[in-house]
Structure 1
């Protein structure tokens, strides 16, 4: 454990309790809350903050059987057995201690005489009282009267909010908690600080909560350590056999409808479990379902179920559920999961259907479990293809391919060929980089398939491959042809939508993808959950390229709603969606947070293709924030994703490299790389990316982009490229006023760092014109906007922040000198001669009135 557990402030509750203890018209409080919610911790913190003497007593089950049990020390050696005399003696002892506070922990466990003493003190106002009471426990009437009759203030202590829980865990583990894991841990703990602590410590010890990079993630079930088991077992010890049977059944199949649970254990056991606060009922549509009152109760109950009992109990539930209609994915998955480990026979058709359901829901480990069970029982191609897909999406392409390699294509009919060929070529193409072999598989299948709807599936698959090979126009045409065919089956529609959705936004036709995205959102019959998630990514990508950042952000948030760590890949792609929008807006801290978490979730045995777009966004964000070393590392990591199947992303790779060069002060190199990205994008038909790349070049000082951007403003759909064109024209003309105007429009559009750069580029032009006021205004605007981007720094912003009388080349070389490079290293980096570098260094020193390159380096660092 990197750090110890720290107390988390509860300022509102702290102030309320302290006010109740110290106010003129108040004589104390009763803190009420669940076990482990922090009542005692808060009570002790408050009493330590006041000057009064505090007398703490703690009630226990054993002290409850002794009259005046926790206050027995106040009566000394008295031999009286008269209750009135004992009370008087104890009361006199407490009153004699002056203006003190009586603190009672677990006041619900007080014996009747002690409760009466506490009540007398409150009625007589002869002392201040701070007591804690556990929710859901029987409380002596005298204690209940303390707040019901208005003597003391009752304060409910609620569990931590999600934000508080995350803050507490992150303060302990010394790192960032993955968002999906944070959601699940908060749900499992119910925000209870003690439960949360046990969860974290137990999961770390069990190895299910582990660190990947700078992100902690939960993979596997939460582990329940012995300390928490002991805490919760106190509520189970007296439950009785019938109630425990009900709890065990529920633990194996939660939620369970009330009729089924009642049929299995009887009304009395179900009622008793509810009355004891161990289970609760929720209305899920027309069904009344039983659930545990707290998730961890189920975890503890599961520790009490042996293997043989588990098979028998699951068998009982299976027999009941067989009489139910399995009309939903959840019901099929639950039935299949129960059947596998029960003493009942397994329905293979149900098992296969449930595996499809799990994969549709993007729960890949569960899909693998169900598909593997079906495949082991049947060896069928249908179950093998499902298993292969589940393995592929989890980053195990060799295992996925090995499953399908067991089948001989010559022995398959047309339907089976497609069922075998599409996942096989997908594995080869996207995850193994064996592009030629993937095309061979596609050609083999297309040669033998003649059924029209199967041909459409193959055409859609070919379209997705074409797009990734950067054959943009061809991929779009093929995808649209499939989508226009009324006979296209679901799988063809999904693959075609994915192909069109990746290509149309970068081609500058993002608005044309909206009806396709709407069609996919409306269709709930997808065959592959991961393709559905990828189409959603395309939806966000299209909206971002169109400049509709608000809708893009809203959909990215909506698409990120997952409830199981088994959905980690879908969750990671959703985080990349958020990174796409945040990058466009210039919200680089959000980019870093989202993408770092996504990459941690995407860590697998083999590099997952989705790591590439994430890494390219992250490298650009690091560069914009001046974190050059981290940008270099991420770009190096991104190099493992290369080859024809990744050609689609080459313009983005070059753009990220240009930002890295700019962050290092190599502005000419940054321009060259941005222009190379634009050229690559233009050749392949990625016109929106061409425009973006030219915009970056303009921001890095290129004054030759205006004509082409004006052409692209007519070609690319949306509101963004016309702004790029106006900016480029203003830079080319050296028009400071136009730059200020386009900066304001960039800001209104949500392109915050573009706005900062435009303002920064206006500042030196105003300065050259002798307009000091506007110089200051533009420079201040640039810095304000850069701060809104997380303190981002670009060449233009640096110049505006510290204008120096240097040429761009002199400033570029001075930056590299300040980074510690020798003249020879600078020459190699910029492809110049050493003598040329020495000349620039000499002139820079002369202009800045410094003696040598060491003083030059120190001056540049101070200005930075």
Structure 2
């Protein structure tokens, strides 16, 4: 972690202040802003850079009643009581060495005589003034006229922007701050540097801000440090008690309908709170709502309310709100939460409905709290079902299973049996990886559930399990049957859409699936927000596989906005979507931090299987940047999720291994692994994955793929297979012009890394034909694309960037030598004899004019593997 809080430079404001001090028409500046926004820090930074010594007067509430209290240190000891004599004494001391810079901190607290002295210096221009004033505070007229009459230039200092806040916090933490956590911290601090520091330090002390896999995450409510609480409490001590009462009510329930707040506190109290800028009134459609003007005010006021008082106040709010009978999910959740912490008892039905709302909105922690309260009260299957789902989503399968194990399936009716069986099968399948046990639970359900309205829920779960077992044709058929069932319940449709979304894009039916999503999710109604988010992941996957990368990126951004502070799992899924799109574009420098944050957000007691797709993308990204060691590490971590329950991803594991081999200089091995991935994908009906794996093999130099790729054009929807086939044909014929043309089309499609590889292969082809001008043009294009991708690396790019007078096989062996492998290791890697490797090393050394392996490695190393420091 970083060592401390450093000044975050504000160069624009700094220059404005410095320029104003040099202006002959003004006597200085007054910097206004909220408490803690950084006025004094900026002012002292500017004055310290000026010639001569600045004289700083710090005003306080206690000094404001003392004549010349702010400038007392410059008043010579005297028995005189004449204010004029005191002014002269202070003025002579301040200006004894000629014009000076007079700094006044918190000038709104100046006593009248000090304000008069400052006004004289400004009017006579005998010194430069830098004053700070806290906005919202009364200012003496003699000070206010200084900027109103133009003697001082007023500069308003705004809070930090979100980016500035993140920069400052990350410099202190010494690592990456999760984007979702950054949003919360920025929102709670309001961009105020002082508030920001107190929030972060308090969260670190409380343990709610911690590091997970190199990413700092805030989990739980922000806290207020004692120092900040004292600072803010001082403001409330001087406020109208009736206004503080309004603040107390809003601190427990915000926002509140204005009519409800009037009933609770009265109009005069609300007017007083609004006048003192403690609250604000906003119009939300036809409703007027009251909100606290700054989030931290509510935190501090809540600290001052005792447990008994808080329960009573919440009870009063509940009494008013329950008359309105909330009809929205947000209204039900708010009312249920208020009940839990009040002196009144909520109906179990409200708790269950609110828990269902929370799970539907992907807020698993809140769903758990509400469902657990209902379950502990009545222990019925409705609350048990919701509680188990909320626990499972948070990576706590043992707890989820324990809840369901309390019920005997023989005692359950068909509805209860589904509520019990589907979560239990899901826990066993995804969290424990026990396919046979999950299928046994499904078999039990099949034998007992016959209701045609309930049956689709069972079929949808079966479809999801079948897809993840990599039995795509069967899984898609089951999902489509549910999706076409006119009486299938909403939950069945969501689960079937999730199953189809994980399968159809891989099978080459991406256009079909985007139509399914549009049809199924026409409304915002949902039964499980996280299942819906996974179905949306399938939609982005479909858009990527059909070449609509711009639309995929837009959707990923939109879905990220769906998440809030309690919905970090949904946020993690959305970040995985964003990483997916960035990876396909070849923008690995963007993809890596995005995916790292997503994987850290998936952190749980029991590792969630939804990490696997992100890890495979991340391994691919590291390899694409020429960082195979990190790619290997990520792939090793991904191995915790293996077996039949995640067989769907087996071809993608081979794709990642192919790119790692390529990053290590093993072009032949990369081709073999790409072909193996394509074969595995073909056997299971993943035709889009097959096409991409074959495309990778062609990028690694395989010249025998044209016919096979052409056969996939009719099986995979979208324009990409045709582009892949054109590229493969150009590689097979070593046609530089055709490779240039397909590179341009790859770039138009947004596949920048593929475009760079095609251009690099074009450069090599032009070189072989001694077409020097075309070679330079292709090479220039390659380097431009490599730069736009953030420095990607591949065998074709490395060869184009530094052509050597060696054969492709000799270059491959030389790159493995540079990677530190022995001849025996290289022979095993390439499936050849050690003698053959020695021959390649010998000939490569002769051609390059070096005497041994060390010299060969020294020449090759700049083109080969680089670590993260490069």
Q: Same fold (TM over 0.5)?
A: yes
The 5 A counterparts of 1:537-576 are: 537-562=537-562, 564-576=564-576
1:611: Cα distance to partner?
0.3
Deviates more, 1:363-372 or 1:643-652: 643-652
Q: Which moved more, 1:304-313 or 1:109-118?
A: 304-313
3-state SS of 2:850 partner: coil
Q: Which residue of 1 aligns with 2:77?
A: 77
Structure 1 partner of 2:640? 640
Q: TM-score, normalised by structure 1?
A: 0.98
User: Residue in 2 aligned with 1:655?
Assistant: 655
State the SS of the aligned residue for 1:25.
coil
What aligned pairs does 1:417-428 form with structure 2 within 5 A after superposition?
417-428=417-428
Aligned: 1:844 with 2:859: no
How big is the shift at 1:831? 2.7
Q: Deviations over 1:438-487 (max 9, x none)?
A: 11111111111111111111112211122111121222222222212211
Residue number in structure 2 paired with 1:385: 385
More displaced stretch, 70-79 vs 44-53: 70-79
Contact 1:670-1:697 within 8 A present in 2 as well? yes
| Partner residue, 1:522 | 522
Shift, 1:295, TM fit: 0.9
Q: Cα offset for 1:539?
A: 1.2
Alignment of 1:583-622 (within 5 A): 583-622=583-622
Match of 1:731 in 2: 731
Unmatched 5+ residue regions in structure 2? 865-870
* Cα distance in 2 for residues equivalent to 1:687 and 1:141: 78
For 2:184, the equivalent position in structure 1 comes to 184
| Equivalence for 2:463 | 463
Deviating 4+ runs (over 6 angstroms):
none
Q: Name the stretch that deviates more: 102-111 or 425-434.
A: 425-434
Task: Give, in angstroms, the shift of residue 562 of structure 1.
Answer: 4.5
Q: Is the 8 A contact 2:687 2:712 kept in 1?
A: yes
What residue number does 2:453 align with?
453
> Deviation per CA, 1:818-852, whole angstroms, max 9, x where unpaired?
12222122223333322222222112112212111
Instruction: Decide whether the 8 Å contact of 2:681 with 2:690 is kept in 1.
Output: yes
- Find the residue that maps to 1:322 and give its secondary structure: helix
Equivalent residue, structure 2, for 1:233: 233
Deviation of the 1:294 alpha carbon: 1.1
Residue pair 1:52, 1:99 contacting (<8 A) in 2 also = no
Give the distance between the partners of 2:479 and 2:821, measured in 1 at CA.
51
Q: CA deviation at 1:244?
A: 3.4
Q: Residue in 1 aligned with 2:6? A: 6
Q: Any residues of structure 2 matched to 1:297-696 within 5 Å, and which?
A: 297-562=297-562, 564-696=564-696
Q: Residue 868 of structure 2 corresponds to which residue in structure 1?
A: none
Deviations 1:180-206 (A, max 9, x none): 001111001101111111111111111
Aligned to 2:15: 15
- Normalization by structure 2: what TM-score? 0.97
1:357-386 superposed Cα distances (whole Å, 9 cap, x missing partner): 111111111110001011000101000000
- Equivalent positions of 1:158-173 (< 5 A) are 158-173=158-173
Output the CA distance in 2 between the equivalents of 1:262 and 1:87: 52
Which 10-residue stretch deviates more, 514-523 or 541-550?
514-523
- Measure the CA separation in 2 of the matches of 1:859 and 1:532: 53
Q: Give yes or no for contact 1:257–1:290 (8 Å, CA) kept in 2.
A: yes
- 2:245: which partner in 1? 245
What is the distance in 2 between the residues matched to 1:371 and 1:799? 60
Aligned positions of 1:87-98 closer than 5 A: 87-98=87-98
Deviation at 1:241, TM superposition (A): 4.3
2:728 is equivalent to residue 741 of structure 1: no
Query: Partners of 1:582 and 1:862 in 2: how far apart?
Result: 26
Contact 1:180 1:562 in 2 (8 A): no
> What residue is the counterpart of 2:289 in the other structure?
289
User: Which residue number corresponds to residue 26 of structure 1?
Assistant: 26
Q: CA deviation at 1:231?
A: 1.7
Separation in structure 2 between the aligned mates of residue 806 and residue 253 of structure 1, nearest angstrom: 74
Shift, 1:8, TM fit: 1.0
Counterpart-to-counterpart distance in 1, 2:548 and 2:256 = 44
Distance change in 2, residues 1:644/1:210 (3 Å): same
Work out the CA distance in 1 between the residues paired with 2:793 and 2:231.
Answer: 52
Which whole-Å CA distance do the structure 1 matches of 2:73 and 2:186 have between them? 42
Given that 1:703 and 1:732 are in contact with CA atoms closer than 8 Å, whether structure 2 keeps it comes out as yes
C-alpha distance in 2 between matches for 1:602 and 1:656: 21
> Residue 46 of structure 2: SS of its match in structure 1?
helix
Superposition pairs for residues 42-191 of structure 1, below 5 Å? Answer: 42-191=42-191
Structure 2 contact 2–171 (Cα < 8 Å) conserved? no
Note if contact 2:753-2:786 (Cα within 8 Å) is conserved in structure 1. Answer: yes
Measure, in 2, the Cα distance between the counterparts of 1:863 and 1:334: 59
| DSSP-derived class of the 1:453 partner | coil
- Once residues 410 and 808 of structure 1 are traced to their aligned partners in structure 2, the CA distance between those partners, rounded to angstroms, is 68
Q: Deviations over 1:707-750 (max 9, x none)?
A: 11111122211121111110000001111111111111111111
Deviations 1:803-832 (A, max 9, x none): 112222222221121122221222233333
Q: Deviations over 1:548-573 (max 9, x none)?
A: 11111011001001553321110000
Deviations 1:204-260 (A, max 9, x none): 111111111121111111121122112212112223544433322222212222222
Aligned residues: 864
